[in-house]
Structure 1
Amino acid sequence: MLSKNYTPKRTVCKVTFAVPEEWASSEIKLVGDFNDWDTKADELEKKKGKWEITKRLKPENEYRFKYLIDGEVWENDDAADTYIPNEFGTEDSVVEIGK
């Protein structure tokens, strides 16, 4: 699930990435364009029956991303704005940040 909240002047969008608790047993990492696909940069926190993290992203951009689950499985977000094929023969999730 993705939720987007813009700052009053719309210079930043706070995007919350969340997935169900049952997706992972120990950890989920958010990996994408916004962190140079660094598998150690952004770990989701488990709270209230789900895993989540909030990122501050610049408007007028789109960002490819995936979740790395328990260090082994790559998954897309069921609520991504769209999906784009990648060089590995699968697809990446995309979050689009408007103006």
Structure 2
Amino acid sequence: MLERKPRKDRTEVTFVLPADTPPGPVSVVGDFNQWEPGTHPLVPRTDGTRAVTITLPGKGEHSFRYLAAGDYWFDDESADGHDGVNSRLRT
């Protein structure tokens, strides 16, 4: 799931997943972090989910995927669209 908070010239996007699906560590990887695994790991929240918030430019589109343990790549079903194997996000 994606949570968005528009700001004056940027958008804060929170990437949210269930606490244990998939099991193990998960990070969000995309063009906003040069597709570098581990740069933005999801961390547990008090509501039983795990998440990470990234600040992105106010207007634009970004490609991303999630990377879980065992080199398991997957998409976000709540994304704005898909570009081949990548999820797409509009800010």
* TM-score normalised by length of structure 1: 0.85
- The structural deviation recorded for 1:71 is 4.0
Contact 1:17–1:52 (Cα < 8 Å) also in 2? yes
- How far apart are the structure 2 equivalents of 1:41 and 1:84? 22
C-alpha spacing 1:75/1:35, structure 2 compared with 1 (3 Å):
same
1:16-41 Cα distance to aligned partner (Å, 9 max, x none): 10011221322001100000000021
- The structural deviation recorded for 1:6 is 1.2
1:35-72 Cα distance to aligned partner (Å, 9 max, x none): 00000211110222212000000011101000001142
Gaps of 5+ in 2: none
Q: How does 1:63-74 map to 2 (within 5 A)?
A: 63-74=62-73
RMSD: 1.1
Gaps of 5+ in 1: 86-90
SS class of match (2:20): helix
Partner of 1:95: 89
**Mean Cα deviation higher: 21-30 or 75-84:** 21-30
The structure having more radius of gyration, on CA atoms, is 1
Alignment length, in residue pairs? 90
SS class of match (2:58): coil
* TM-score normalised by length of structure 2: 0.91
Contact 1:23–1:69 (Cα < 8 Å) also in 2? no
Partner of 1:42: 40
- How far apart are the structure 2 equivalents of 1:71 and 1:4? 29
Contact 1:27–1:71 (Cα < 8 Å) also in 2? no
SS class of match (1:34): helix
Partner of 1:88: none
Partner of 2:51: 52
State the one-letter code of the partner of 2:67. Answer: L
